[in-house]
Amino acid sequence: MKKYILDLTVLSVQQIHERYVLVKLTSDDALPDMLPGQFVEVRVDGSNTTFLRRPISIHFVDYQKNELWLLVACIGDGTKRIGELKQGDKLNCVLPLGNGFTVSEGAKKVLLVGGGVGVAPLLYLGKVLKEQGCEPTFLLGARTGKDLLMLSEFEKYGRVMVTTEDGSMGEKGFVTNHSVLQNEQFDLIQTCGPTPMMKAVARFARQNTIECEASLENLMACGLGACLCCVEKTTEGNLCVCKEGPVFNIKRLLWQD
Amino acid sequence: MARLDVKIKDLCLKNPVMTASGTFGYGLEFQDFVPLDGIGGIIVKGTTLAPRQGNDYPRMAETPQGMLNCVGLQNKGVDYFAEHIYPQLKDIDTNWIVNVSGSSPEDYAECAARIDVLEKVPAIELNISCPNVHDGGMAFGVTCAGAESVVKAVRERYHKTLIVKLSPNVTDITEIARAVEAAGADSVSLINTLMGTAIDIEKRRRVLSIGTGGLSGPCVKPVALRMVYQVARAVRIPVIGLGGITTATDALEFLMAGATAIEIGTANFLDPAVTIKVRDGINEWLDRHGVASVQDIIGCVE
């Protein structure tokens, strides 16, 4: 897929949570094709402590409105800068990068499991799945109810189940404790979130012989497979998460623990 | 349009802009952003005789105006390069240069010999300055005797343009430069990364998997520029300058300091199209100042 360096225009920056912002971007030209699970390398200028671009998941693409949405956790100096963007600002992006999730068609039962800001790529994935006639089930986890992001958007594309660690919304516990995993059969699980969560999801998938894909977020520099900094140990040796991933079938990962 | 062509021994570059090893992949990763045939030379990833897995993750730490890395020469080996990568590169009209590393002089020489036969690779860059591998790498580049031993061994088996990449992690880089010149190098490139470290204060431990890494990016530029200036005055062979070059202004500084060509490294991560912008910026400066050829400014400062 052809990659581009684009100066996108900020349409809005919505503070949707104390730590998270939803950044909506547009372009004078039609946005290029992007696949669910791919990411954008965002240039962050004007910070003394940061230097490299920030890899951010593609949260949603609306081709009719020509909008690209990024869901950003404002944690470090770089991502905080992104949170301070104003309408009309330009954001230099390299996109689309990496390999996306497998998009199933038709009758397959697909479960999308997200935790924290890791829910980001699952919204666009859900939309594309629904368009392919494969309405997904979302299983989203967070610490508390207020940490569950964009729920009303997810509901547009499939059934939404939630777990919270404090029980303030949905079932209490971790995503892997949710009753839907015991009560229903799925053909494919696709997951993005904290590594311990994804490893637990992968363990469940392995035990129940369900196909599973996980999206990794190793620390990156180039995002293009050139610097070899973001490697993950796999059955094929060290692979760049930015180029060979960020989505991997768990069979390729050494997550047997 | 000024003349941009320069020569490094038998290596003819259409312009003085090259890419630094390990920052531009095999070039193919960047072809959506820049026309590869518009770049003077592309120095591909560090290549060794046998495949290497490199160091464990984490391999990178961001620093103010730079980054540390300890990749540790991950590559699939010279035979894989020759069989699988080279065929994809050979018809693209630039100078493909392979960066060669090893654990012993014999290792380096054998690797170089296997590249010598590749028609469209007119030069190699010997990496005697990698700070991230224990067995070899920088160990050769920090003493005159070590540097000489590798260059001599390679010179016997390699017949095209031989560039030697120098480490800045030495007391006097001009001594090493003179030693490799005497041993038969056709050119020296400098600087490789500066050894550094970073600490995670929450975990109370060093960030990188092997503790230390090589520092690159704009933060190293003044050090690199000073060393290029010194080495250009200490040797007769052409010098290739690198270290934090991000703009045409940076590149022009290195050329004026005495570099015949320059390499762009870490800046490729910030702007994948930077190489062509630097080339065009050099041309624009030359035109604006009525300078007919880039060769007229090489080493022009006292």
In a domain, B203, yes or no: no
Shared domain check, A126 and A193 = yes
Contact criterion met (CB below 8 Å) for B4 and B15: yes
Catalytic (active site) residue B111:
no
Q: What is the pLDDT of residue A106?
A: 78
In a domain, B284, yes or no: yes
In a domain, A241, yes or no: no
Tell me if B269 and A4 make a contact (CB, 8 A cut-off).
Answer: no
Please give the residue range of the domain that contains residue B133. 6-52+70-197+214-296
CATH of residue B162's domain is 3.20.20.70
From B72's Cα to the closest Cα of chain A, the distance in A is 10
Q: What is the pLDDT of residue B134?
A: 66
How far is the C-alpha of A243 from the C-alpha of A170, rounded, in Å?
36
Domain count, chain A: 2
Tokens read off for A128: 């594309």
In a domain, A25, yes or no: yes
Shared domain check, A78 and A54 = yes
Q: What is the pLDDT of residue A48?
A: 79
Interface test with A, best of B26, B29, B193, B266 (most A CBs within 10 A): B29
In a domain, A233, yes or no: no
Shared domain check, A138 and A56 = no
Shared domain check, A132 and A59 = no
Tens digits of residue pLDDT in A149-178: 999 999 999 999 999 999 999 999 999 999
- For helices B173-182 and B221-232, the axis angle rounded to 10 degrees is 50
In a domain, B57, yes or no: no
Measured from the Cβ of residue A10, the count of other Cβ atoms closer than 10 Å reads 17
In a domain, A254, yes or no: no
Domain count, chain B: 1
Tell me if A3 and B69 make a contact (CB, 8 A cut-off).
Answer: no
In a domain, A121, yes or no: yes
Q: What is the pLDDT of residue A49?
A: 84
Tens digits of residue pLDDT in A114-136: 999 999 999 999 999 999 999 99
CATH of residue A129's domain is 3.40.50.80
Nearest to B250 by CA among B219, B292, B273: B219
Whether the predicted pLDDT of B2 surpasses 90: yes
Please give the residue range of the domain that contains residue A123. 110-215
Indicate which residue of B111, B130, B144, B219 is catalytic: B130
Which of A97, A121, A142 terminates a domain? The answer is A97
Which parts of B62-172 fold into alpha helices (H)?
78-80, 86-89, 105-116, 138-141, 144-157
In a domain, B33, yes or no: yes
In a domain, A225, yes or no: no
Query: How far is residue A166 from each of residues A66, A163, A250, measured CA to CA in Å?
Result: 39, 9, 29
Q: Could you tell me what percent of chain B has a pLDDT over 70?
A: 99
Q: What is the pLDDT of residue B79?
A: 98
In a domain, A256, yes or no: no
Contact criterion met (CB below 8 Å) for B242 and B214: no
Where is pLDDT greater, at A221 or A48? A221
Nearest to B50 by CA among B23, B73, B84, B20: B73
In a domain, B89, yes or no: yes
CATH of residue A18's domain is 2.40.30.10
Question: Rounded to two decimals, what is the model's pTM?
Answer: 0.96
In a domain, A228, yes or no: no
Tell me if B58 and A52 make a contact (CB, 8 A cut-off).
Answer: no
Tell me if B29 and A243 make a contact (CB, 8 A cut-off).
Answer: yes
Confidence of residue B265 (pLDDT cuts 50, 70, 90): very high
Shared domain check, A78 and A15 = yes
Whether the predicted pLDDT of B285 surpasses 90: yes
Q: What is the pLDDT of residue B135?
A: 64
In a domain, B152, yes or no: yes
- Chain B residue with Cα closest to A232: B57
Q: What is the pLDDT of residue A108?
A: 87
Tens digits of residue pLDDT in B112-131: 999 999 999 999 999 998 77
The ipTM assigned to this model is 0.94
* φ/ψ (deg, to 5) at A42: -100, 130
Tens digits of residue pLDDT in A182-233: 999 999 999 999 999 999 999 999 999 999 999 999 999 999 999 999 999 9
Contact criterion met (CB below 8 Å) for A77 and A47: yes
Could you tell me if B54 lies within 8 Å of chain A, comparing CB atoms?
yes
